[in-house]
Amino acid sequence: MIDFAKAWSILTGKFGTFMEGVGVTLQLAVLTVVLGSLLGLVVAVFRRTRFWPLRILMNIYVAFIRGTPLLVQVLIIVYGLPQIGFRLPRMTLCVIALVINSGAYMAELIRAGLQSVDRGQTEAADSLGMSASQRMLYVILPQAIKVTLPAAGNEFIVIIKESSVLYAVGVYELTYQAYKLASVNYRYIETLLDAALIYFVLTYVMTKLLGLLERRLRRSEKTSE
């Protein structure tokens, strides 16, 4: 039976343990979304170059990452890289795995952002005599990023949730902490419900904050028009 009183006493009694996990989870999410966005940006821009081998390489990368489960990617990176000589700290390996994963999704989001920039902008930049890289850097990209920003925030929320697979490789994030508590208190459902509640609070608050940011961005749109 699910004992809600017990769930509550576990939550309050082991709050510190849960919060340790939250700290790691947020740290992972922040690092991943920042580095993943940069990677995604590079990939998205490379996918538009005229140099076709690069374009194909980037397409393969995005297709492969989107077509394989995150857990498998994590296991390959975390146990595979050390095997071929890259003995990095576990956290670093996990961030690498998450960034590689998130980068592919961000590349897709940024591509959509780039495509949303009106063709007239390209023509205008051309008529001013800008080079292709200038056009990208000063005209297209700033507008695309603004469109993509809310989606990047959404990716942040996704990573908060998806980083839970890292419990499988012993990263002390929220799910790991909950799982560890449950393995000694034998109250699986109650302890995991606590973890679920904490995840929900995290993502709900983030969603609300993102809503505010989005509204703020839209306001600037109106005044600039």
Partner 1 sequence: MKRILALALACLMMLACVSASADALSDLQAKGKIRVGANIAFPPYEFYYLNPETGEEEICGFDMKLAYGVGEELGLEVEIVDQAFSGLITALNVGDVDMLISGLAVKPERLEVVDFSIPYFAGEQIMLMTKENAEQLKTVEDMKGKRIGAQMGSLQAQILEEQFPDSEGYLIDNPNVLALDLVQGNIDGWLITDLVAKQYMAVYADQVELVICDVPVVYDNSAGIAIAVQKGDNATLLDALNAYITRIKEDGTFDSWVDEAAAQSATLLDTSAE
Residue written as token pair 């606590």 = 194
Nearest distance, CB of residue 201 and partner 1, angstroms: 25
DSSP 98: H
Does the footprint of partner 1 cover residue 1 (CB under 8 A)?
Answer: yes
**Is 115 a residue that touches partner 1 (CB under 8 A)?**
no
Number of H helices, E strands in the chain: 10, 0
> Do 138 and 128 meet the contact criterion of CB atoms below 8 Å apart?
no
d(CA 62, CA 145): 19
Specify the length of the chain in residues. Answer: 225
Could you say whether residue 82 binds partner 1 (CB under 8 A)? yes
The nearer residue to partner 1, 25 or 102, going by C-beta atoms, is 25
Give the CA count within 13 Å in the CB-facing half-sphere of 162.
22
Q: Residue 81 or 117: which CB sits closer to partner 1?
A: 81
SS3 80: helix
Shortest Cβ 46–partner 1 spacing (Å): 33
Report d(CA 118, CA 107) in Å as an integer.
19
Restricted to residues 83-112, the positions that interact with partner 1 (CB under 8 A) are 83, 87, 90
In the complex, the smallest distance separating the C-beta of residue 49 from partner 1, rounded to whole angstroms, is: 38
Dist CA 109 CA 44 (whole Å):
9
Name the minimum Å distance from CB 173 to partner 1: 13
Identify which of residues 25 and 177 has a Cβ nearer to partner 1 in the complex: 177
- 166-205 residues in contact with partner 1 (CB under 8 A) are 168-170, 176, 179-180, 182-184, 186, 188
Q: Which amino acid does the sequence have at 128?
A: L
- Cβ contacts of residue 212 below 8 Å, gap of 6+? none
Task: Rule CB under 8 A: say whether 4 interacts with partner 1.
Answer: no
Taking 3-state DSSP, the helix, strand and coil percentages for the chain, each rounded to the nearest 5, stand at 85, 0, 15
Residues 150-169 that bind partner 1 (CB under 8 A): 168-169
How many residues of this chain interact with partner 1, rule: CB under 8 A? 17
Name the token pair of 66.
Answer: 């989107």
Task: Report the nearest approach of partner 1 to the CB of residue 79 (Å).
Answer: 6
Q: Taking CB under 8 A as the rule, which mask of x and - marks residues 15-54 in contact with partner 1?
A: ----------------------------------------
Would you tell me which residues interact with partner 1 (CB under 8 A)?
1, 79, 82-83, 87, 90, 168-170, 176, 179-180, 182-184, 186, 188
